[in-house]
Amino acid sequence: MNKNNVLLNFVKVLLLMVAIMGSSSFASVVTYKVTGVLYEPATQPNNTNFVGSFDWDGSVVSNLQGAMNSSMYEVDDVNPDFKKSFPLLHLNYQLAQSTEGDIVTASVFLKNSTDVFYGGGYQSGDVFRYGTPFFESNTEVINSNAYFTFSFDKTTMAGIVQSMVYGDCTAGGMMGEFCMTGHSPATNSLGQNIPFGSMGAYPLSLEIAAVPLPSAVWLFGSAVMGLMRFNRKRELFAA
């Protein structure tokens, strides 16, 4: 095999590799796993946990989704010592994100709506659920929403623990018209300083880790390198 054929084969393989990586967005988008824990002093040893993932292209968060549990438990009427856990809440609607300097913040919701608390919105510190009949004049329609918010530094991809906020306003809990919430000290819609969540819950840990590329990509890369070495040997023998 002459040098021209070796070069031609190398170019073909290189173009194929670029096409595959481009079609799968490997070249620009990285998938990250995010795991957040908020400490619940009133329900120990049970905390509120969020486990999910998102795609990051260096400037925009996309495909943020995950599952969050409820730390609250209802007591079985027959056996008061037995506590039943609520099912996982699957948060699949990424409806908000913002960037301030190097800090990126994103929120994901249970319903296709950002209305979580009474009066609309999802500001940390509020506790009455959207549509609550607690206020007689309320005309909102109950939507039993839930959400999770977190932030990270885009230069290091390190999660910012104190940025985590969650609100669980789903029906059936022990809180009635009040939502389970967790956050760092915040100011609610009335301008009041709320030290922590509705039951004293606050951020405990936040981990963000890149998801390894599929093994097929590495195998493909190894095959390319092997082909290059093989063609190089043939060239040497031919000489």
Q: What is the pLDDT of residues 198-227, one digit of tens each?
A: 889 999 999 999 998 664 444 445 545 555
What is the pTM for the complete model shown? 0.74
In whole angstroms, what is the distance from residue 27 CA to residue 25 CA? 5
* H runs (alpha helix) in the chain: 3-23, 215-238
Domain ranges of the chain: 42-72+83-228
More confident residue, 88 or 48: 48
Residue 24 has a pLDDT of 47
Q: What is the mean predicted confidence (pLDDT) over 123-128?
A: 86
Percent of the chain with pLDDT over 70: 67
For the chain, the average pLDDT equals: 79
> What is the number of alpha carbons within 13 Å of residue 118 lying toward its C-beta?
19
Q: What single-letter DSSP state applies at residue 195?
A: -
44: confidence class by pLDDT, cuts 50, 70, 90: confident
Is the predicted pLDDT of residue 231 greater than 80, yes or no? Answer: no
Where does residue 123 rank: exposed (0-12), middle (13-18), buried (19+ CB within 10 A)? Answer: middle
- And the tokens for 183? 């956050």
In whole angstroms, what is the distance from residue 105 CA to residue 183 CA? 14
Is the predicted pLDDT of residue 95 greater than 90, yes or no? Answer: yes
> Can you tell me which residue has the tokens 């070495």?
229
